[in-house]
Structure 1
Amino acid sequence: MIGSEGLAMKTITGLAALSVLIAGPALAQDVGGPPPPPPPPAPATTVVLPEWRAVPAENLLVIDTTRGRILVELMPEVAPLHVERIKLLARRGFYDNVPWHRVIDWFMAQTGDPLGNGEGQSPYPDLKGEFTFRRDSAMPFVAVAEPAGARVGFFHSLPVQTQPDAAFALTGDGKVHGWGLYCPGVAGMARDEGNDTANSQFFLMRQAYPALDKRYTIWGNTVSGLDVVRSLRVGDGDNGMVTAEPDRMTRVRIAADIAQGERPAVQVLATDSPRFRAMVDETRVSRGADFSVCDVVLPVQVTN
């Protein structure tokens, strides 16, 4: 669970999403003759707009809850074993109707326990901790700050910190250590006292909590629905346990498994775009000395 200072037991605002107006075709004037041919069918794949990055449907977790929908971008490059487990359990319906059994305001919302008391888990073996990952020069990482001996920025939508690029030449595999940062919306795995005891329970951050960094595996980031995470019923019992009727995950799916016409499609502002850089600069000026990567909230567009 997750304790108030950490997750020892299996019990852990930013810019508004931007919208896009797409103009429809103008009506042709009636000048006689045969009618114009019908427009071509809409493409089956997502059309990526300039400066936007499409989240692959295979890496988009769709969590429908009693409070609304939450969309989490999965990060298999950061935590492959944990992402594989989340996908397996989602596809087997394990998470459907499971309560948010532990919710602490200004901290996190926890779920994934079918018993609802912080002691339950899946029938599968516990997972080895994936608290850090290895980054090479090909990984699409964009820095927003460079404190001494480190780089802080984004891998896709996930806030991360890594060793500096100069260390590539000093390691045997040409890679450096990186780790996710527990900013609002980040998805982490709950565990018992041992590092390798995560199983099925997970949590979504309601606020930033850097004390968790490199202590609990990060496997994704909320790209839509942080307001839903923050609206979940807060626990009234010991250690944030919800003793009254808890909110629930009504259905959890991988977007790739949802029919094309119903599947949510997500585009996130590309972190290598001029627009992103301008947004970061504006945020840095407004926050001043208090600026942190957690202050940078990527605009998102969602259809369906």
Structure 2
Amino acid sequence: MRQGFRITGAALAAALLASVTPASAQDTTPSSSEAAPAIAADDWRTAAPDNLLVIDTNKGRILVEMTPEAAPDHVARIRLLAKAGFYDGLPWHRVIDGFMAQTGDPLGTGEGQSWHPDLKAEFTFRRDAQTPFVAVAAPAGALIGFVQSLPVQTQPDAVMATTPDRKVHAWGLYCPGVAGMARDDAPDSANSQFFLMRHPYPALDKRYTVWGRVVSGLDVVRALKFSPNPDGIVTDPDRMTRVRVAGDLPEGERPSVRVLSTSRAPFRALVEDTRAARGADFSACDIELPVEVN
């Protein structure tokens, strides 16, 4: 179903220097009843240039932090195609409001792909004790948290002691901004088309490979022209003008992105503030990590 499912942040940092104000998946902004800790210089981490995809569009710039821990082969494919200029000029051919924006098809119909072979699915990945995972919730028999900027669900750490490789299953969660790889009906049919989530859609979890998340420019993703038709195919679509991995750009053109570290106290305060505001509705999708872009 190449056409049917070749589918698939934010400048909060300045405000969070005074207080932590997360945005939920529904674009509500819960308020904090307690002062949050100030964000110090070592509370930030710098996104690795080789894991930062710079998508310039006619509507603005989108920055996606890729997560090779979750999908190494798909991240390698995105890097390869971006370096070759494959994505330059391609349309956001399928955009559905309340769902996602899809691109990466040279035909612009949903039926095209690159000249490289299709990829084996990476719907889940194996997490070990060295994976940079930070939990924010512990529902029965599972953990939910973050690997860098990516929201994930995983088996508990205790299960590592029972597995031959001392690793446990984990998978990305389809929260707003999450980047997924589009495919046909066959699981191992992803190639070049990808999608960025405009809103959460948990029905995709463990069914489409997750390879990163938008850390800046979710407003651009949501501003892309969408189709009112059920198939989501857009007439006169918006386009990507240039797509490159930041590490492949000259230093003078390379954006520098700092993301709030999930291992630091301000992140823990952000989680607790969001949990208190959302109550029983709390989800990892409610947590929008503060970002500074230079």
TM, length-normalised to structure 1: 0.86
Matching of residues 87-106 of structure 1 within 5 Å: 87-106=79-98
Distance 1:95 1:277 in 2: 37
Letter in 1 for 2:253: E
Q: Which runs of 5+ in 2 are unaligned?
A: 16-39
CA separation of 1:78 and 1:135: change in aligned 2, threshold 3 A:
same
The correspondence for 2:195, drawn from 203, 210, 227, is: 203
How far did 1:295 drift?
0.3
How far did 1:10 drift?
2.5
Aligned equivalent of 2:43: 51
The correspondence for 1:247, drawn from 238, 242, 265, is: 238
Q: Structure 1, residues 148-200: CA drift from partner, whole Å, max 9, x if none?
A: 00000000000000000110100000000000000000000000000000000
Distance 1:65 1:162 in 2: 34
Q: Which structure's CA Rg is the greater one?
A: 1
> How large is the Cα RMSD of the aligned pairs?
1.6
CA separation of 1:2 and 1:106: change in aligned 2, threshold 3 A:
farther
Aligned pair count reads 270
Tell me if the contact between 2:10 and 2:217 (Cα under 8 Å) persists in the aligned partners: no
Distance 1:125 1:286 in 2: 46
Q: Which runs of 5+ in 1 are unaligned?
A: 21-47
CA separation of 1:122 and 1:15: change in aligned 2, threshold 3 A:
closer
Secondary structure of the structure 2 residue equivalent to 1:161? strand
Distance 1:273 1:249 in 2: 35
CA separation of 1:2 and 1:117: change in aligned 2, threshold 3 A:
closer
CA separation of 1:152 and 1:2: change in aligned 2, threshold 3 A:
farther
The structure whose residues are more often helix, as a share, is: 2
How far did 1:64 drift?
0.0
Aligned equivalent of 1:277: 268
Distance 2:5 2:203 in 1: 16
How far did 1:16 drift?
4.4
Letter in 2 for 1:17: L
Aligned equivalent of 1:154: 146
How far did 1:233 drift?
0.1
Higher relative contact order (Cα pairs below 8 Å, separated by 6+ residues): 2
Tell me if the contact between 1:11 and 1:119 (Cα under 8 Å) persists in the aligned partners: no
How far did 1:15 drift?
7.3
Secondary structure of the structure 2 residue equivalent to 1:172? coil
Aligned equivalent of 2:18: none
Aligned equivalent of 1:37: none
Secondary structure of the structure 2 residue equivalent to 1:70? strand
The correspondence for 1:10, drawn from 6, 18, 28, is: 6
Tell me if the contact between 2:10 and 2:216 (Cα under 8 Å) persists in the aligned partners: no
Aligned equivalent of 1:194: 186
Secondary structure of the structure 2 residue equivalent to 1:275? helix
Secondary structure of the structure 1 residue equivalent to 2:98? coil
Distance 2:119 2:44 in 1: 34
Q: Structure 1, residues 86-120: CA drift from partner, whole Å, max 9, x if none?
A: 00100001000000000000100000001111001
Tell me if the contact between 2:7 and 2:195 (Cα under 8 Å) persists in the aligned partners: no
Letter in 2 for 1:254: V
Tell me whether 1:175 sits opposite 2:171 in the alignment. no
How far did 1:139 drift?
1.0
Aligned equivalent of 2:254: 263
Secondary structure of the structure 2 residue equivalent to 1:90? helix
CA separation of 1:169 and 1:220: change in aligned 2, threshold 3 A:
same
Aligned sequence identity (%): 66
Letter in 2 for 1:262: E
The correspondence for 2:221, drawn from 205, 226, 229, is: 229
